[in-house]
Structure 1
Amino acid sequence: MDGIINVLKPPGMTSFDVVAVLRGLTGVRRIGHAGTLDPMAAGVLPVCIGRAAKAIEFLMEKDKRYRAELTLGITTDTQDTTGTITSSKKPEVSDQQIADAVSAFEGKYLQVPPMHSAVRVDGKRLYELAREGVEIERQQREVEIFSAKLLSIDRSEGVRALIDIHCSKGTYIRTLCSDIGDRLGCGGCMSFLLRMAAGPFEISDSITLEELSALREKGGLHNALIGVDRVFAGLEAYRLDEASEKRFGNGMQIPLSRALLPDTGNEDRSGLKSSVSQDGSLVRVYGSNGDFIALGMVFDDAKGYYLKVRKFFKIPVGNERGHNK
């Protein structure tokens, strides 16, 4: 079994817990997730199974979308409501001030990772140090907030703001909530988090662990698999004939003139110089029968454009419920 399952992680489970459940359901040991969600968080958790695990390094680089609730006036040692309260203050802020503070973080900014996080410092994870009562100075890391929008404000019990965030990899939403609270002068922490999307995987296309268990009982677990090429959606796709596929699979470089776009039939591509054909361009590569073979890289050796393997997959068609040719 090879492919990706877009799991809807429930709150209360760790991301590793989800992987353990999937190992039990599939009987496959080679499984990994593509981006940790805290236990209190819910939402999209892509789980890569079998040969699809090779795609984790690429999926981890994708941007994320979140819906979060920010509770103003309260700070905690974990920057969310699971931690110990460190300060409490009545927030005297208007709706417009909150909206302005949220949108002010759009763009690139330097974020300090929280102590309760999986970031490694000198070989040890920060959360391990935090459990020992140790707090150390952390280096700022640049993250990017592509958009930050205020959706609503609830003042029935304190001041709680619902926000939507589209951000780069490595962004801590609870730290962002804390930073917004600091900007408003009243402090704040995250009280709810839902990951809406991780790269091309969206919550509307996710599946619960209960639904996966039911599929397994019916012998239809393969129906939940998504083709690994979904990770590379948006990259130009090429198809190799049988002879070129064999050479390519043996690690040989293929002239790009022998690689056909899926919809070009037998068109002569010997003079190809399209926008994608630049040194270092990444492309999807399919075999003669439609198998997704590899993530390829285009390069120019002065004699012409060639195609070489960046990451080899070779996952047969029919092993998943959809791919992206």
Structure 2
Amino acid sequence: MINGVINVYKERGFTSHDVVAKLRGILHQKKIGHTGTLDPDAVGVLPVCLGNGTRLCDMLTDTDKIYETQMILGMRTDTQDTSGQLLEECAARLTEEKIREAVWSFVGDYDQIPPMYSALKVHGKKLYELAREGKEVERPARRVHIYDIHIQRIDVLDSRKDFILSETGDLPAIPLKPEPEIFPKMAVTMEVTCSKGTYIRTLCEDIGRTLGTGGCMSALKRTRTGIFCAERAVTLDEIQKAAANQCVEQFVVPVDAMFSQFPGLSVNENGERLLYNGNPVKIEDFCEIPAGLADGTSVRVYDQSGAFKGIYQYCEKLREFKVVKMFL
């Protein structure tokens, strides 16, 4: 069994669950989990945990994210992106100064209402399932944090041709479902750094509402989540070719590498027995202890063979290390 994390580049048309299912077939192992959903039309970084690395899923889901996105001002849809049904539209003719002012007003803490077309569950049912049934339920606002928004460009779209060809660089546009009238619109391409749980689609709609023109998302690429970036991500095809050549390990980040900021300690024979039973380990049951060890210090713990087994935290009062998370 392979243990660790693969930085997958999710391509358009795949759900996060599709990626997991395909990897199970490629790697011939069931214990695989993803670290946060990306819409089928979105692309970019999707860390996937393998083997005992699946114990990292909750930690990686909680990390901050960076996205490249394109927002269309002058229209609003039921899905908050250009794949949805057109609800309303208007002519968008705004100064760049006004757009920048509205965009930057969302930097900081922000109470966001999750979209109906999302995988969040209400009474055991996913919101998008209710939305497809034509139902809308009340969703409490959730506090998210926008660390920074960098506006890369602002374009004026005067025709349907401009609208369709509004891709910038390698940021693929979401296929246009509605048939907008010939109203001038504007496209804003930007990079958003945000906390976990932020819906970029909703951010685009909320900015459009602030400007009075309506807004929706027309492209989305996740470029970073935690330590994983798009430049080092690999596609499913690349992973499949590596598996055929029995060299998939080149793409796997070991579990202990996720905790490289913590010192690594190895146990002795008695410590190994305690370790494998999930018990606290006394300070004397380690082979070597770094000088000046402070109370509450987290460490990576290895058995006598050098295999990583878990994260422990030092309790100075008891002179022992307590389990934080095991990776047996």
Q: CA deviation at 1:128?
A: 1.0
Deviations 1:272-310 (A, max 9, x none): 353xx33xx54433344442211223335x344x31222
Kept in 2: contact 1:199–1:231 (CA 8 A): no
Structure 1 distance, partners of 2:107, 2:124, is: 32
Please name the residue that 2:74 is paired with.
Answer: 73
| Pair 230,177 (structure 1): closer, same or farther in 2 beyond 3 Å | farther
Q: CA deviation at 1:210?
A: 1.2
Structure 1 distance, partners of 2:94, 2:286, is: 60
Kept in 2: contact 1:102–1:149 (CA 8 A): no
Structure 2 distance, partners of 1:230, 1:105, is: 34
Please name the residue that 2:140 is paired with.
Answer: 139
Mapping of 1:30-179 within 5 angstroms?
Answer: 30-156=31-157, 157=162, 158-179=185-206
| Pair 74,171 (structure 1): closer, same or farther in 2 beyond 3 Å | same
* Matched residue SS, 1:155: strand
Mapping of 1:283-302 within 5 angstroms?
Answer: 283-300=299-316, 302=317
Deviations 1:228-269 (A, max 9, x none): 2343343x2231233323322222212346557xxxxx4664
Q: Does 1:313 align with 2:327?
A: yes
| Pair 268,292 (structure 1): closer, same or farther in 2 beyond 3 Å | closer
List alignment gaps of at least 5 residues for structure 2. Answer: 163-184
Structure with larger RCO (C-alpha < 8 A, sep 6+): 2
Structure 1 distance, partners of 2:268, 2:112, is: 50
Please name the residue that 2:28 is paired with.
Answer: 27
Report % sequence identity. 40
Structure 1 distance, partners of 2:275, 2:195, is: 34
TM-score relative to the length of structure 1: 0.87
RMSD: 1.9
Please name the residue that 2:254 is paired with.
Answer: 227
Kept in 2: contact 1:58–1:231 (CA 8 A): no
Deviations 1:119-147 (A, max 9, x none): 11111111111011000111001111111
Please name the residue that 1:203 is paired with.
Answer: 230
TM-score relative to the length of structure 2: 0.86
Structure 1 distance, partners of 2:103, 2:302, is: 44
Structure 2 distance, partners of 1:74, 1:282, is: 50
Q: CA deviation at 1:196?
A: 0.6
Kept in 2: contact 1:283–1:295 (CA 8 A): yes
